[in-house]
Amino acid sequence: MHVEVLLVDDEKDILKALSRILRRAGITSASKDSAEAALTWLGSNQASLIVSDFRMPGLSGTEFLAKVEVQWPETGRIILSGHADFDTVLKAVHTGVVHKFLAKPWNNQEFIEHIKTSLASQSNPSAPSAVQEDAPEDLSCDIQDPSEIKLQVALDTVVDGIVSINSRGIMLSTNASMERIFGYKSVEMIGNNVSMLMPEPYRSQHDHYLSQYKKPGLKGILGNQRRLVGLRKDGEVFPIELSVNSMELDVKRSFLG
């Protein structure tokens, strides 16, 4: 048996509600009331995507999905849980055990949109996959130089998201993939602090990290790649791989990520 979504939650009323939402959207699903039952089901059945609660008797949602990652790595993995579990789930997203974190209570329409997006990414894995607190800086981004136009066109063909920031963390430019990945238009990002693309605690800590990069002899993560988590415009938290390099433009230091 193959279904698009396997729902795992120890609360049967939630399973019924989610099943009903998926059925109305034309999405096939199966439901299990424990991680152990879900693992047994997966032994002889298939699901493209798993949506699991975090707090359950026996195995927790992250422990369950860690086992899924090992045995069925191609299966999409989402945690649907309360805000109280955010820090623990964030660590799971950071390590890649969990692909997405969705909060309870959920909005039905947004839930379906997340499910459809996740299913689409499962069928096409090569596809690229916050609230603004401060007023954006007035940065004129009109590109006049032909060489700059050619560079922007080239960057827009890159699948990876690319962003440049100044020494204060303000975004100076973004490529087209940044819009697809984070859900913001370029004009919404440019002039704002790049921390808007990060969930807590990374958002609050970003300015400190940036100050470390600027100290002589301290490179931090410059030139290296590491796994972090990003925050989309719709509030979805998801894993990213980040590589940062510094550059000098018109005697001013900036960073490219």
61: domain CATH number is 3.40.50.2300
- Let me know: does 172 contact 164? Beta carbons within 8 Å: yes
Instruction: Give the chain's domain count.
Output: 2
Reported pTM: 0.56
The confidence score (pLDDT) of residue 249 equals 58
The confidence score (pLDDT) of residue 19 equals 95
Q: Quick check: is 131 in a domain?
A: no
User: Which runs of consecutive H residues, i.e. helices, occur in the chain?
Assistant: 12-24, 35-42, 61-71, 86-95, 108-123, 146-156, 176-182, 186-189, 202-213
Q: Give Cα 112 distance to the centre of its chain.
A: 17
Q: Do 82 and 190 share a structural domain?
A: no
Cα angle value 113/229/213 (rounded, 5°): 145
- Count CB neighbours of 60 within 10 A: 21
The confidence score (pLDDT) of residue 246 equals 75
- Let me know: does 121 contact 76? Beta carbons within 8 Å: yes
Q: Quick check: is 68 in a domain?
A: yes
- Count CB neighbours of 130 within 10 A: 19
Show which of 62, 89, 123 is a domain's final residue: 123
Q: Quick check: is 128 in a domain?
A: no
Q: Which residues of the chain have pLDDT under 70?
A: 83-87, 89-90, 94, 123-158, 205-224, 247-252
Q: Quick check: is 133 in a domain?
A: no
Domain that holds residue 31: 2-123
Q: Do 104 and 23 share a structural domain?
A: yes
The confidence score (pLDDT) of residue 242 equals 81
CA–CA gap between residue 150 and residue 153 (Å, rounded): 5
Q: Do 181 and 75 share a structural domain?
A: no
Q: Quick check: is 232 in a domain?
A: yes
- Count CB neighbours of 250 within 10 A: 5
Burial class (CB within 10 angstroms; exposed 0-12, middle 13-18, buried 19+) of 68 = buried
The confidence score (pLDDT) of residue 85 equals 58
Three-class DSSP labels, 118-171: HHHHHHCCCCCCCCCCCCCCCCCCCCCCHHHHHHHHHHHCCCCCCEEEECCCEE
CA–CA gap between residue 160 and residue 241 (Å, rounded): 10
CA–CA gap between residue 181 and residue 239 (Å, rounded): 11
Q: Quick check: is 200 in a domain?
A: yes
Q: Write the CATH number for 166.
A: 3.30.450.20
The confidence score (pLDDT) of residue 144 equals 45
CA–CA gap between residue 203 and residue 206 (Å, rounded): 5
Q: What is the DSSP letter of 84?
A: G
CA–CA gap between residue 135 and residue 192 (Å, rounded): 7
